[in-house]
Structure 1
Amino acid sequence: MRIKGTDFENLVEPFFREIFEKMGFIVIQVRNQNSGNQDGFDISVLFFDDNDIERELFIECKYYTKSQLNWADIFNKQVQLECSNHNPCAFILLSPLRDLSNIDHNLQAKIVKKFKYPVDFWTPDKDIEKLFALKEDLYKKVFDTKKCDIKINESLEISRYKAIINLLIQKRDALEYANIISIDESNKAPQENSNLKTTLDLKLNSILDKDDENRILYHRTRANYKVYLENLVDLNPELRNNILNWEGNLRLKAKRLTLRFNIDDAYTPQQFFHDFFHEAENELLTFYKDFELKGDKEKLLHGLVFELAAQCPLDWRSNGES
């Protein structure tokens, strides 16, 4: 006999405690929302993440067997959660039998940005059956079947869902600090052609001595900038695109200013180097103001300037000489 919606909620409450503990999280509590409350969720999971930061994830359970599951209904749940006193790290729709219909992706993206917590839809088109296959008895009840034919590697499946949870946490932090640029020191090398490092070294030869300690600093600053942009692909693609658009505008300016060497023989590489930094800094201040950004101006400025030098649009050497 197929279970009811309230049965589904009661079944997944202990299931999520077990799954989160298998992920290695310290679970403080998993609770089922009282019937009739309008806080926008059915299950909440309060836990410590891998950095020992307290997080609370909210799950809306929809056990629809025949009727259509409309996105507008889930959108209303997000609004209710935002209007509550809760501080979600993420909101998850859990619907094992029905995919969402009539999704307004544009509005969904805007509301996520405004509410500052990520939303994920765990539905049949996301292979949600594999999650329930971690517990065969639960799978049989949820999908009203006598056996589970899905064969999974429990360890791999737990790791996969933990990666999803950790990505949601990262997105939550990125949304909270969406207007703050924070470029950390990283030992990671950016994904790029190694020739870019050689090209930058050729440019630095014209303004620095071979043993100048600033060489390493400039290379590391550029690498940190590139790694930061790579991390934004998943965490904050909108900010990444804005930075790259700004970089593109400076690339055009760099090409134009490089032509000055053709009309002024007295213009030195050192002069060009400092002049371009001044031009780029003015553009940076405007960029920050236009998008109401904060943080790490100098790191962004230096990283971008040396990236343009490595890519070649910016060449402060007289006539391109080494």
Structure 2
Amino acid sequence: MPISGSDFEKIIKPFFQEIFEEMGYIVFQVRQQTAGTQDGFDISVLFLDFCGLEREMFFECKYYTSSALQWSDIFNKQLQLKASSHKPCAFICLSPLKDLSNIDHNLQANIVKNFKYPVDFWTPDKKIETLFALNIEVYKKVYDVAKCNISFDRDKELRKYRAKIDLMIQQKDLLQYSDLIKIEDVAIDPIEDINLKTAMDEKLNAILSVEDPKRIEFHRLRANYKVFLESLVDLNPELRDNILRWESNLRLKASRLTDKFNIDSSYSTELFFHDFFEEAEKDMLTFYSDFNLKGDREKLLNGVVFELAAQCPLDWRKNGKA
């Protein structure tokens, strides 16, 4: 006998409790949304991840048997969830019978980026049948069949969905800090040509004595910046590309202002050194504003300026001489 949409939600609640626990998560609560409440979801699962952090995933259940499942309907649910007081780790559309139609992929990607939590669609084209087949009775009710004829490796299927959930948790963490510049003080050096460090040392000779402790500090600020950039290769390539584009634009300014410095006999080395920092800071504030960034402005500023000095477009020595 076919079930209704509300029946489907009632089935999913204990099913998710069972499956999440079987995947190894500690489940605190599986909650079914009160009828009539417009918070953008039907079921939420509150659980402890494998790092000991509390997470909550929200599921919009769509049990459509004949009507097309329009992406715009799910988009509205995402907006409702965002407008609520909930703090999602992820939003998932659960549709066992119908795939999504007319997805606006560009808009969906921008929504994920702005809402800062991942969205997934568990639909027939994602082989969702095997998820329900983890419980034979659930499968028979959902697909209105007398028996389940799907053959699959149960442990492998559980590992697959656990991997999906863990990946969404990682994506959530990355999205949460996608606009945050956080440059740590590290004890390692970047992988690079040793001549870059030598070039920076030669320029520091023009403003600092050999014994000045600021030399070590300036080298460390640059190294921290370089290591930070390396860490973004896999974690946040978009942020890395944006920083490098800003650095590239600042490199042009460094070259131009260095040329201007060299033709002005009244312009001292120390003054140009400090003036360029002020110019770079103004440029950085615009960069932060353009991309809605926050965090570690001074570390980024110092890192980029000393990187430009090491790479040579920025030179506060008169005509390259200390």
The TM-score, its normalising length taken from structure 1, stands at 0.75
Distance 1:16 1:188 in 2: 45
Distance 2:188 2:69 in 1: 44
Q: Say if 2:209 is the partner of 1:205.
A: no
Q: Say if 2:227 is the partner of 1:231.
A: no
Q: Say if 2:43 is the partner of 1:39.
A: no
Instruction: Report how many residues are paired.
Output: 311
- Residue 56 of structure 1 aligns to a residue whose secondary structure is strand
Distance 2:56 2:259 in 1: 56
In structure 1, stretches of 5+ residues that fail to align are none
Distance 1:136 1:188 in 2: 54
Give % identity: 54
| Correspondence for 2:163 | 160
Offset at residue 71 of structure 1 (A): 0.9
Offset at residue 41 of structure 1 (A): 1.1
Offset at residue 42 of structure 1 (A): 1.1
- Residue 29 of structure 2 aligns to a residue whose secondary structure is strand
Distance 2:65 2:134 in 1: 22
Distance 2:140 2:317 in 1: 71
Structure 1 residues 307 and 205: CA distance shift in structure 2, 3 A: closer
| Correspondence for 1:173 | 176
| Correspondence for 1:80 | 80
**Larger deviation: 219-228 or 24-33?**
219-228
Distance 1:261 1:277 in 2: 14
1:98-113 alignment to 2 at 5 Å?
98-112=98-112
Structure 1 residues 86 and 286: CA distance shift in structure 2, 3 A: closer
| Correspondence for 2:151 | 149
1:99-138 alignment to 2 at 5 Å?
99-112=99-112, 115-132=115-132, 134-135=134-135, 138=138
- Given that 1:199 and 1:311 are in contact with CA atoms closer than 8 Å, whether structure 2 keeps it comes out as no
Offset at residue 123 of structure 1 (A): 2.5
Partner amino acid, structure 2, of 1:162: I
- Residue 97 of structure 2 aligns to a residue whose secondary structure is coil
Structure 1 residues 20 and 197: CA distance shift in structure 2, 3 A: farther
- Given that 2:226 and 2:303 are in contact with CA atoms closer than 8 Å, whether structure 1 keeps it comes out as yes
Offset at residue 216 of structure 1 (A): 3.9
| Correspondence for 1:14 | 14
Distance 2:198 2:318 in 1: 12
The TM-score, its normalising length taken from structure 2, stands at 0.75
Partner amino acid, structure 1, of 2:163: R
Superposed CA RMSD: 3.9
Structure 1 residues 226 and 316: CA distance shift in structure 2, 3 A: farther
| Correspondence for 2:279 | 279
Partner amino acid, structure 2, of 1:149: S
Distance 1:187 1:260 in 2: 37
Offset at residue 147 of structure 1 (A): 1.8
Partner amino acid, structure 1, of 2:149: K
- Given that 1:197 and 1:219 are in contact with CA atoms closer than 8 Å, whether structure 2 keeps it comes out as no
Offset at residue 48 of structure 1 (A): 3.2
Offset at residue 55 of structure 1 (A): 3.0
Structure 1 residues 119 and 7: CA distance shift in structure 2, 3 A: same
Partner amino acid, structure 1, of 2:27: V
Offset at residue 280 of structure 1 (A): 1.2
- Given that 2:46 and 2:55 are in contact with CA atoms closer than 8 Å, whether structure 1 keeps it comes out as yes
Offset at residue 74 of structure 1 (A): 0.9
